[in-house]
């Protein structure tokens, strides 16, 4: 599967006129590639982790929250310990958590179906745990412990102050 995964890069020009190549692209490009390039059959957009607060009851912790398309856990080989890769990001109010966060908040209990809140951009929003993934080794570039559906991530950032 790895030999069929490609990353789209962007080349821009700095204010000084120097070329700059980065991994940031506009969110619509994934669907545009699927619609117009027959060889592209799926996409997995990724929103870089931001620090947000997680609340369960009175317990409040800051964690790294990333965002991904529903296909994210299908295209990349993160071991899913609870839930399924196909459905864990299917609903906008779903959230997938690492086994480390699951142990911190839920102990030995199965956290799928449980609710906790994320606090960011002046809002507190409830999410349902739909999956648990094995925490990534330290050497992985992508480091996060909570993942939201990407279609909920951008609006989540824009919620007005309460």
Of 86, 81, 156, nearest to 125 by C-alpha is 156
* pLDDT interval class at 162 (50, 70, 90): very low
Of 36, 32, 33, nearest to 6 by C-alpha is 33
Model confidence at 161: pLDDT above 50: no
pLDDT for position 157: 58
pLDDT for position 27: 73
Q: How many CB atoms lie within 10 A of CB 128?
A: 14
Q: What is the pLDDT of residues 4-60, one digit of tens each?
A: 778 788 888 889 999 888 777 777 888 898 899 999 888 888 888 888 888 888 888
Give the mean pLDDT of the chain: 85
pLDDT for position 159: 43
118, 53 contact by CB (below 8 A):
yes
> Quick one: tokens of 146?
């909570």
Q: What is the pLDDT of residues 71-84, one digit of tens each?
A: 888 888 789 999 99
Question: Has this prediction a pTM greater than 0.85?
Answer: no
154, 119 contact by CB (below 8 A):
no
149, 68 contact by CB (below 8 A):
yes
């Amino acid at each position: 599967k790895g030999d069929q995964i490609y990353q789209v890069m962007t080349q821009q020009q700095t204010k000084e006129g120097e070329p700059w190549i980065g991994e940031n692209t506009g969110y619509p490009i994934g669907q545009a590639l699927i619609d117009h390039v027959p060889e592209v059959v799926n996409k997995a957009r990724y929103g870089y982790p931001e620090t947000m607060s997680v609340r369960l009851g009175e317990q409040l912790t800051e964690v790294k929250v990333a965002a991904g398309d529903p296909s994210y856990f299908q295209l990349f080989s993160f071991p899913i310990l609870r839930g399924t890769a196909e459905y864990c990001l299917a609903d906008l109010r779903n959230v997938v958590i690492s086994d480390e966060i699951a142990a911190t908040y839920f102990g030995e209990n199965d956290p799928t179906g449980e609710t906790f809140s994320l606090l960011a951009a002046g809002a507190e929003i409830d999410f349902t745990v739909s999956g648990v993934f094995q925490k990534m080794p330290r050497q992985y570039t992508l480091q996060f412990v909570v993942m939201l559906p990407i279609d909920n991530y951008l609006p989540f950032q824009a919620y007005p102050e309460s």
